[in-house]
Amino acid sequence: MENSGHIPLKEISQMIDHSLLHPTMTDKDILAGCELAKKYQTATVCVKPYAVPMARDATAGSGVGVCAVIGFPHGNSTTGIKIAETLQAVKDGANEIDMVINIGKALGGDWDYVGYEIQVVNDACLAGNAILKVIFETDFLRDDRIIHLCRLCSQMPVAFIKTSTGYGFVKQPDGKYAYRGATEYVVGLMRKHADPKVRVKAAGGIRTLDELLRFRALGAARIGATATESILEEAKRRGYI
């Protein structure tokens, strides 16, 4: 679909957190990713905690923010470690934090634990003038758990709720591991049950401009992507300016 002229290219690029999270990425890879994010003026580069100072320096003055992941990718760190990791990342220059919930606690219905952890990490973010995105890892959760998390996060409120890490692989009947990541169904569910002031980030498997636009239409304000360059080059070819 060609651009009707209603969506500026910058609005598309500002939806993207350029993801630099694969465990095999070297410092050289991360720095190259920062250059790409600056070229396309994405919202942020999303990096592992150790890489925050490097990303901060590489993006300084560019308008591209630095997002750090916390408790990534499985959410099993203690609450104290998540707080410490958040405080260190903010001190090092992160202005956005993507934190994975304790998935087992959510599955077990221990909402006091889950809610407290989200609250104290959100408080740590706000103390450093950063914002929190709470990663649900929706592949592991039934609808009722996703809805409850939306309501918990709306009570805080946090800045964003997020579908997936991109690494939430589920064992299939044939023994292989796969994940769905962001789906139109789950993004619609999250948008429906979260307070309007809580934004939704879709992440995991979004690789094309058409997918980005579909998630935008469903109410996603941000996406996580590794295919940033191909998405934005496709937008240019279609007439987005």
Instruction: List residues with catalytic annotation.
Output: 98, 162, 201
Long-range (24+ apart) CB contacts under 8 A made by 167-172 are: 167/21, 167/72, 167/73, 168/73, 168/137, 168/138, 168/139, 168/140, 168/204, 170/139, 170/140
Q: Specify the amino acid at residue 36.
A: L
E-only strand ranges, 74-187: 96-100, 131-135, 160-162, 170-171, 177-178
The burial of 127, by beta-carbon neighbours within 10 Å (0-12 exposed, 13-18 middle, 19 or more buried), is given as: exposed
User: How far is the C-alpha of 106 from the C-alpha of 97, rounded, in Å?
Assistant: 20
3-state secondary structure of 26: coil
Per the CB < 8 A criterion, the answer to whether 164 and 138 are in contact is yes
Which tokens in the block code for residue 51?
A: 């890489």
